[in-house]
């Protein structure tokens, strides 16, 4: 009996060691991701002189919210530009997310449920774009947008972001629909529902976590994108936040507190969105709606 209890204790010790190793690793990753945010926040409440001190002033001796007041004041030129850039980013990201979901949901459902010639080829052809870096398509897309007359408009960004976001969105949702038993739809059809009614009343409620995960992915990708926004938009009234915050750089000096305040405020919507919807995001990527 003593040997048996000792043999059982050894695996438990190994499991505990791995568990603690995992906790330490997660703690280090949390520290790695949180420290830049904390440093950004601390710099944003410093004065311009304190932000430039060497050695750096880790904690501001005289914290101030002047940078945030300047950014949120529409009467100030900097604040008016920042708020305008913020709304531009919000409009582009929201339109990209809505259109991406509208297109990805039926496309993923069709790949999951229907069998038609060339189905596998077409599905992998959709994913083929993700094999190449996004910057490769910069020049062809710019020529296309100029031909369509969409340069210097938000439409160019929405179309471009859909081009990059739809393949992964369709792939995520297809895997999610594959986990929803088709018998549920068949039972609804037997009860007199049409295919569309079965999809709308049975599949859609079960696929809400997957749709939310897809929406989060599309929104964050559009919100943070810089290269295409910098290339396609030249008019000040059309700029998005990633491009607009470069206005804090100048030839001779940089407003580091203002830059950090703008960067911190730019990250807030994404963080809040993810914290509010994280349970749906994790559920969609790990479990699916219904298991077989």
User: Is 292 part of any domain?
Assistant: no
CA distance 108 to 226: 28
What integer is the mean pLDDT of 194-222? Answer: 85
Q: If you average pLDDT over every residue of the chain, what do you get?
A: 81
Give me the CATH number covering residue 118: 1.10.3720.10
Within a domain: residue 123?
yes
Is residue 42 one of the residues assigned to a domain? no
pLDDT for 288: 46
For residue 81, the enclosing domain spans 66-286
Whole-prediction pTM: 0.80
Cα 173 to its chain centre, rounded Å, is 16
Please give the Cα distance from 31 to 17 (Å, whole number).
21
pLDDT at 96: 94
Q: Which one is predicted more confidently, 280 or 146?
A: 146
User: Residue 245 and residue 93: Cα distance in Å, rounded?
Assistant: 17
The answer to whether position 51 is within a domain reads no
With beta carbons less than 8 A apart as the criterion, state whether 169 and 284 touch. no
CA atoms of 274 and 215, how far apart (whole Å): 11
DSSP per-residue codes, 60-75? -SS---HHHHHHT-TT
pLDDT higher at 53 or 149? 149
Residue 26 domain flag: no
Report pLDDT for 237.
83
Residue 20 included in any domain: no
Q: Is residue 236 part of a domain?
A: yes
Q: How many domains does the chain have?
A: 1
- C-alpha 249/C-alpha 164 separation (Å) is 29
């Amino acid at each position: 009996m003593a040997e048996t209890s000792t043999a059982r204790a050894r695996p438990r010790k190994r499991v505990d060691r791995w568990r603690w190793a995992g906790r330490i690793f997660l703690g280090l990753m949390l520290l790695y991701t949180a420290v830049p945010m904390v440093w950004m926040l601390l710099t944003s409440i410093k004065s311009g002189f304190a932000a430039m001190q060497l050695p750096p002033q880790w904690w501001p001796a005289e914290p101030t919210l002047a940078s945030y007041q300047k950014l949120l004041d529409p009467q100030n030129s900097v604040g008016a530009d920042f708020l305008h850039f913020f709304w531009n980013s919000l409009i582009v990201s929201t339109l990209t997310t809505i259109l991406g979901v509208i297109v990805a949901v039926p496309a993923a459902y069709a790949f999951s449920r229907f069998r038609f010639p060339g189905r596998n080829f077409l599905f992998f052809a959709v994913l083929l774009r993700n094999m190449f870096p996004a910057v490769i398509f910069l020049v062809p897309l710019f020529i296309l947008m100029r031909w369509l007359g969409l340069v210097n408009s938000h439409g160019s960004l929405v179309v471009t972001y859909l081009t990059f976001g739809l393949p992964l969105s369709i792939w995520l949702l297809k895997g999610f629909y594959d986990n929803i038993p088709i018998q549920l739809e068949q039972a609804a059809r037997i009860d007199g529902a049409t295919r569309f009614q079965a999809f709308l009343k049975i599949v859609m409620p079960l696929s809400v976590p997957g749709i939310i995960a897809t929406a989060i992915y599309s929104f964050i990708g559009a919100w943070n994108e810089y290269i295409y926004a910098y290339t396609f938009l030249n008019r000040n009234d059309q700029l998005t936040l990633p491009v607009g915050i470069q206005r804090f750089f100048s030839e001779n000096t940089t407003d580091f507190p203002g830059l950090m305040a703008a960067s911190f405020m730019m990250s807030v919507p994404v963080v809040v969105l993810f914290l509010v919807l994280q349970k749906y995001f994790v559920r969609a990527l790990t479990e699916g709606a219904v298991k077989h």
